[in-house]
Amino acid sequence: MDNKLLTSTLTFKKEGMLLIDFKTNSKKIGNGIIKVIIFLFLLSYSNLFAQANKDFIPSAPGLMQPYERFGKIYNPIEPEKADSYIERGIASWYGEDFHNYKTSTGEIYNMYDMTAAHKTLPLGLYVKVRNLKNNKECVVRLNDRGPFVDGRIIDLSYKAALELDIIKKGTELVEIEVLGFPDERDGQIVFVKPSSYFAGTFSIQVASFKMIENAERLKNQFIKDGVKAKIVEFRKNDELFYRVRVGEFNSIEEAKLYQEELKKFGFKQTYLVGE
């Protein structure tokens, strides 16, 4: 894929308000001056994408390399071995002391999101957690590593712990069951087992709009710069969204490299999608 920057006119409307109207010449990634100008410009308008992408469900797995904590080496579980993963043990939770700090995925921890930390399961994975004392269940997305306390298997966000009614006690015996990575199939969100998710081709979702005109402008801009792009319609709660996806990658590693390039130019909320 030709790594060209976004060029020409970027003009997006949101509820009738003109947000961006910017022109530049086509340049390859690596031209320092143009690179910085475009980065700063897009960064200043990044709220456009943050507001437009509210229907995103992060799905990209990551951080599969071994890592060390407190003198101990942890080896993340390979995707094909996580398909039927079930584990029982003690769950704990973490809240205000870690709120707004970075997680292992690089995203900011929000104690009011349904997330959790696990030492070895692939990050980005969704798991069902059941409180074995009261049978309450919830679904969380793994976005952090931990807990690094002997005997504990998962660290829940405050909201998840609240759902399972373990806030007051602090810990509880739970069962974890892997659901998979979320993917879109025939307009519906389904969970795909890790071994299947890592196979096939991938694209990168860069934005999602309610106005098709905005989606068309962004799609055409990528195409003009030599990047494959398409629009995928998605309906959620009786609302129709127009998702812009770019690229056609044969591996997650290849897709993530291009995803990192996109981040440099203001596209910070992008997600890998299995085709």
The number of folded domains in the chain is 2
pLDDT band at 26 (very low <50, low <70, confident <90, very high): very low
**Do 218 and 246 fall into the same domain?**
yes
pLDDT of residue 60 exceeding 90, the answer is no
Domain co-membership, 141 together with 163 = yes
Structural domain that includes position 81: 67-182
- CATH classification at residue 120: 2.40.40.10
As a whole number, the mean pLDDT across the chain is 78
Peptide bond into 147 cis (omega under 30): yes
Residue 119: pLDDT band (50, 70, 90) is very high
Q: CB neighbours of 175 closer than 8 A, spacing ≥ 6? A: 86, 87, 88, 129, 130, 132
**pLDDT at 262 exceeding the cut of 90:** no
Mean pLDDT value of segment 142-147:
95
Residue 191 is assigned to a structural domain of this protein: no
Percent of the chain with pLDDT over 90: 44
Token pair, residue 114, equals 């349904």
**CATH number of the domain that 53 lies in?**
3.30.70.1070
- Last residue of a domain, which of 123, 157, 182? 182
> How does residue 64 score in pLDDT terms, banded at 50, 70 and 90?
low
Higher pLDDT residue, 242 or 4? 242
Domain C-terminal end among 156, 182, 208 = 182
Angle in degrees, CA 185, 188, 189, rounded to 5? 85
For residues 54 and 71, membership in a common domain is answered with: no
Q: Where are the beta strands (DSSP E) in the chain?
A: 10-14, 17-22, 67-69, 72-74, 86-94, 115-117, 126-131, 137-144, 152-157, 171-185, 188-192, 202-209, 229-236, 239-249, 271-274
Give the residue from 182, 210, 234 where a domain finishes: 182
151's CB contacts (< 8 A; 6+ apart) are 89, 90
**In this structure, are 161 and 95 located in the same domain?**
yes
The first and second tokens of residue 38, run together, are: 């475009």
What pLDDT digit, counting tens, does each position of 165-192 carry? 999 999 999 999 999 988 766 667 788 8
- Dist. CA 100–CA 155, nearest whole Å: 16
